[in-house]
Structure 1
Amino acid sequence: MRITFLGHAGFAVETAEALVVMDPWLSPQGAFDSAWMQLPRNHHLAPRVRELLETPGRERFLYISHEHKDHFDPEFLATLTRRDFTVLVPRFKRSALEDCFAKYGCKRVVVCEDSREVPFKGGYLKLFVSEQGTNRDSSLMVRGDGRCFLNLNDCKMHDRLVRVIAEEGPIDVFSAQFSGAIWHPTCYEYPRETYAAIARRKRDSKFEAVARALESVQPRGYIASAGPAAFLDPALFPLNFEDVNIFPRAPDLFAFLAQRLPQAPTRYLEPMPGDVLDAGTLEYVSQVPERVTTENFQDYIHAYAKDLAHVFRERRRNLMREEVDEILGRLRVELQRKLDLLDLHGRVGMPLYVELTEAPTRLLRVDFKRRRVDEVPALRDTVRYTMTVGAADIVRVLDRKLNWEDFLLSFRLRLSRNPDVYEPVLHGFLGVEVEDIREFCDGIRATESQKERTVVEVGGKRFSIQRFCPHQGADLSGGWVEEGRYVVCPRHRWQFDLHRGGVCRTNNATLCAEPLADKPEATRTESDGTATQLPR
């Protein structure tokens, strides 16, 4: 088995009988309206990947893990002329991805449920699907030539890894996201010290999740992938050089792992796009000469930005006042359509203000309680959530050139909230498409309906807690305890304080923790009688 790194989360895995191309993100326009660019740049690999997918002689698969445009690159896929290969996509409740490939004209499309196996001569593929709330993702295992590669990419299935490895056996090469990919705290108005503290906590939490995944999987080799993008838009360019943010690079992760797992036998690998790895020896079959290092990083980014400056010159445009007025009206209609379908509106205890930078005295105020969107001249609530956007950016959503989540990931907005508490319904209201609002609400209710409880022992004390995270339903039996009191969710690393009834440290979610009397002869869950002990 040979694994060619295509950049970001992309791989081409070759066995004696099959080829699997995973998440090729190769377009020179980047992703999320060009806000994200591949780091290191990999556009030169597009002809090579086309040749691999278009050359007959073995079974060929194209796997797309989820809809995010740093994984699903329609622009590159449109350049493939010979499409006699099989496309693998996960089955999500939202069918946008499979609908796209239904029209693509390839040999066949296999829409995979969770744990679906797809055989090929001498091996098989196995796809794992994870869908919770607004998070839709998947991961892929390739087994062939006596070797196994598990590519987790962005998929938040850490609570399942122990079971997967028990069922599937040893993993030679493992890959998982180690860098952030969210608009908090990136787009929020925080004092510099607060921003750095939040970013550091999130970065370290992500690193800890990778470390625990490595402890569960115990691969021979770990490939650092799905790392940070390059932010070349002049408005976003400073993100590349912040002292602390949620976009660390692989050397930062490896330094953490060296301290966290000093005896780990796993070999840590940071390939460049185009490098080819032998999954048996963990040696590179070939390496590209250009390497991005800590020493040359700044020069590399500045040269990269200079080469692509035309992309951002071309996307700038000044709007007439009449255009701004029209966009504001369309945005008000869009928000009202979302609000009309949001049947959990009563849970949101603060209004949302939306301001176009070109119209600062014409704010849209979303009143969740009354289900109204009104135009107001100024902020009038102390407790509030605010979003400021440019009309030329938000119109891309209204014109359906971007979906809402892609827009939020473009980072071309500013947000603030008072109090500074995560509100899941409001968060979903912003990021979910109109047609998916009802499904989003149903998903929250489904998570809340999971009432199974389990027992955890910490510091000699026992607590009964909800087994499933109230955020998005992760199985907390795969979590852990920090500082002798905080139960940590394995998916998003939310911390629940056992000393305060299981309340989350950063919002009002709770595990409804209850202290128990002295330990009886057997510890068991209240529902099915099986022991569930969190790691300590």
Structure 2
Amino acid sequence: MRITFIGHAGFVVETSSAVVVMDPWLSPRGAFDSAWMQLPRNHHLAPQVRELLESSPKQRYLYISHEHQDHFDPEFLETLTKRDFSVLIPKFQRSALRDTLQAYGCKRIISCRDGQEIPVPGGGYIKLFLTESGTNRDSGVLVRGDGQSFLNLNDCKIHDRLARIVESEGSIDFFSAQFSGAIWHPTCYEYSREVYEEISLKKRASKFEAVARAIQTVNPRAFLAAAGPACFLDPALFHLNLEKVNIFPRAPELFAFLKDRLPQVSTRYLEPMPGDVLEGTSLEWVHQSPERLTDENLPDYLHAYASDMAHLFRERRRNILRAEAEVIHGQLQMELRRKLDRLELHGRVGMPLYMGLNELPGQWLRVDFRLRRVDIVPEIKERSRYTMRVAAPDIARVLERKLTWEELLLSFRHRMSRTPDVYDPILHAFLGLEIEDVGEFCQDLLAAEARRERTVVTAGVKRYAIQRFCPHQGADLTEAWVEGGRYLLCPRHRWQFDLQDGGRCSANGLSIEAKCLPDTERERRQQPVREAQTQL
């Protein structure tokens, strides 16, 4: 097996009989309306990847993990003229990815169910692992061939399933998983610098711990650091690259944590650069790119990169008249009303949402979830509220269906605040989902809540009966861990539930309904959740 890193979460995995190209994000226009750019840049690899997909004599597969633009790059795919390869995609309930690729035209599209095995000629197979809940749709992929295997989770949060995957699939040689943040919280929120850094450090430590536990479970020969941070070259976002503390750490910071956290682990930690080629048997680099990114050269690298890409942001910058902003404001009001009509669980959202355009400082759209109203108001009156401000041209791209709501949020071109500072999954879904997906989200949430299976966990000398599945997105809490003798951490998103407070999560008020159990022999035979080896 030979593995070529092509940047961000992208790999080319070659066996003696097959080529699997994973998540090629190569467009020089980046992703999310050019808000995210590849770090390090990898645009020069596009001809090489194109040639592999068009001309390799081996069986050719293109794997797309999910529809986020830093993984699914239609602009690059349009440059392929010969499309006689097979496309592997996860079979999500939402058909947008499948519909786009069917129109694209290629040899065949294989929509894979969770755990479905795709045999590879000459031996070996490809297998996808899916997760789909609310706004979260993703997949990981396992390639096995030539007596070796590569498990690439990219952004896919299936940490609660890794033990079962390893038990079923056998030893894993190479492993990769996201280690850096990729979300608008706290990046776009109105926090003081002190609070911003405190939240960032907690999120960073939580992500690093999840990777450490995954490595312990998978026990690969090598961990390949990928799906790390993008960079932000829009002048309005460039400061994010140079912050001392945020949710976008680079691989050297992860490796320092892992070496301290897992001193006995034999796994090699590798930070490939775009174009690096790893020979699987020897774990030697067959080829290494001459361009290496280091902590020392990073600032100069980013400034030069931003200078080269400055034309992208000159092209997208435009001023609009107030009359045009008012038209967009009216269209946004209608869009929010349509979303609200689909939100069956509207009565659970206890605070209003205020949404405003930067160009109209004296106007807000106030979404009253309980009354199902969207009104134009001149000011914010409630102390308990959620706010979002955005530029009219940016929200117009959503209303014109050039961007999805989630892509707008991931562009970081907006400012948010919430009081109290509590995550509300229904309000979050209302903002991030397309209109046609809101009803399905509500049904999925109700179905998850109807799962009443319980399990027993041990924290210190006490045992607690809890809900087995996380109330957020259904992660299996039998794979959770305990910290500080009382806090149960979800293995998927690291939500922290206080077992001594009835299993309540202080960040959002959701609960796993923990009940302390008497010390009986029968209960002692239940499988305990392991105490954390380190404190975050």
Normalising by the smaller structure, the TM-score range is over 0.9
Q: Distance in 2 between matches of 1:467 and 1:281?
A: 42
Q: Which residue of 2 aligns with 1:367?
A: 368
Supply the AA of the counterpart residue of 1:532. Answer: Q
Counterparts of residues 69-84 of structure 1 (less than 5 Å) = 69-84=69-84
Q: For residues 273-316 of structure 1, give each alpha carbon's deviation from its aligned partner in whole angstroms, at most 9, with x where no partner exists.
A: 00000112111110011100111011100110011011101100
Q: Distance in 1 between matches of 2:66 and 2:358?
A: 32
Q: For residues 181-232 of structure 1, give each alpha carbon's deviation from its aligned partner in whole angstroms, at most 9, with x where no partner exists.
A: 1100000000110000000000000000000000000000000000000100
Aligned length: 530
Query: Contact 1:130/1:138 (CA < 8 Å) preserved in 2?
Result: yes
State the secondary structure of the residue aligned to 1:504: coil
State the secondary structure of the residue aligned to 1:177: coil
State the secondary structure of the residue aligned to 1:226: coil
Q: Which residue of 2 aligns with 1:114?
A: 114
How far the C-alpha of 1:512 sits from its partner, in A, is 0.5
Q: Percent identity among equivalent residues?
A: 66
State the secondary structure of the residue aligned to 1:325: helix
Q: Which residue of 1 aligns with 2:528?
A: 533
Counterparts of residues 441-520 of structure 1 (less than 5 Å) = 441-520=442-521
Q: Distance in 2 between matches of 1:506 and 1:322?
A: 41
User: Residue 33 and residue 515 in structure 1: after superposition, are their counterparts in 2 closer, same or farther (change >3 A)?
Assistant: same
1:280 maps onto 2:281 in alignment: yes
Q: Which residue of 1 aligns with 2:103?
A: 103
Structure 1 residue runs without a partner (length 5+): 525-530
Query: Contact 1:455/1:523 (CA < 8 Å) preserved in 2?
Result: no
Supply the AA of the counterpart residue of 1:113. Answer: R
Q: Distance in 2 between matches of 1:234 and 1:157?
A: 35
How far the C-alpha of 1:522 sits from its partner, in A, is 4.6
How far the C-alpha of 1:31 sits from its partner, in A, is 0.2
Q: Distance in 2 between matches of 1:188 and 1:168?
A: 42
Q: Which residue of 2 aligns with 1:258?
A: 259
Q: Which residue of 1 aligns with 2:534?
A: none
Q: For residues 108-131 of structure 1, give each alpha carbon's deviation from its aligned partner in whole angstroms, at most 9, with x where no partner exists.
A: 000000000001122110111111
Q: Distance in 1 between matches of 2:251 and 2:236?
A: 25
Counterparts of residues 185-200 of structure 1 (less than 5 Å) = 185-200=186-201
How far the C-alpha of 1:102 sits from its partner, in A, is 1.1
Supply the AA of the counterpart residue of 1:87. Answer: V
Q: Distance in 2 between matches of 1:327 and 1:392?
A: 8
Query: Contact 1:462/1:519 (CA < 8 Å) preserved in 2?
Result: no
Counterparts of residues 30-109 of structure 1 (less than 5 Å) = 30-109=30-109
Q: Which range moved further: 248-257 or 317-326?
A: 317-326
Q: Distance in 2 between matches of 1:177 and 1:145?
A: 26
Q: Distance in 2 between matches of 1:53 and 1:178?
A: 28
User: Residue 324 and residue 522 in structure 1: after superposition, are their counterparts in 2 closer, same or farther (change >3 A)?
Assistant: closer
Supply the AA of the counterpart residue of 1:207. Answer: F
State the secondary structure of the residue aligned to 1:503: coil
Q: Which residue of 1 aligns with 2:338?
A: 337
Q: Distance in 2 between matches of 1:72 and 1:127?
A: 16
How far the C-alpha of 1:383 sits from its partner, in A, is 0.8
Q: Which residue of 1 aligns with 2:308?
A: 307
Supply the AA of the counterpart residue of 1:535. Answer: R
Query: Contact 2:138/2:155 (CA < 8 Å) preserved in 1?
Result: yes
Query: Contact 2:339/2:430 (CA < 8 Å) preserved in 1?
Result: yes
Counterparts of residues 69-468 of structure 1 (less than 5 Å) = 69-121=69-121, 122-468=123-469
State the secondary structure of the residue aligned to 2:24: coil
State the secondary structure of the residue aligned to 2:180: coil
How far the C-alpha of 1:450 sits from its partner, in A, is 1.0
After superposing on structure 2, the runs of 4+ consecutive aligned residues of structure 1 that deviate more than 4 Å are none
Query: Contact 1:172/1:280 (CA < 8 Å) preserved in 2?
Result: no
Supply the AA of the counterpart residue of 2:326. Answer: D
Q: For residues 423-476 of structure 1, give each alpha carbon's deviation from its aligned partner in whole angstroms, at most 9, with x where no partner exists.
A: 110000000000000001011111111111111111111111111001110000
Q: Distance in 2 between matches of 1:218 and 1:289?
A: 30
Supply the AA of the counterpart residue of 1:362. Answer: Q
Supply the AA of the counterpart residue of 2:227. Answer: A
Q: Which range moved further: 81-90 or 505-514?
A: 505-514
Q: Which residue of 2 aligns with 1:527?
A: none
Q: Distance in 1 between matches of 2:69 and 2:520?
A: 51
Q: For residues 48-74 of structure 1, give each alpha carbon's deviation from its aligned partner in whole angstroms, at most 9, with x where no partner exists.
A: 000000004211000000010000001
Supply the AA of the counterpart residue of 1:55. Answer: S
State the secondary structure of the residue aligned to 2:211: helix
Supply the AA of the counterpart residue of 2:527. Answer: T
State the secondary structure of the residue aligned to 2:41: coil
Query: Contact 1:84/1:107 (CA < 8 Å) preserved in 2?
Result: yes
Supply the AA of the counterpart residue of 2:49. Answer: V
CA RMSD of aligned residues (A): 0.8
How far the C-alpha of 1:505 sits from its partner, in A, is 2.6
Q: Distance in 2 between matches of 1:310 and 1:499?
A: 56
Structure 2 residue runs without a partner (length 5+): 532-536
How far the C-alpha of 1:506 sits from its partner, in A, is 1.0
Supply the AA of the counterpart residue of 2:465. Answer: S
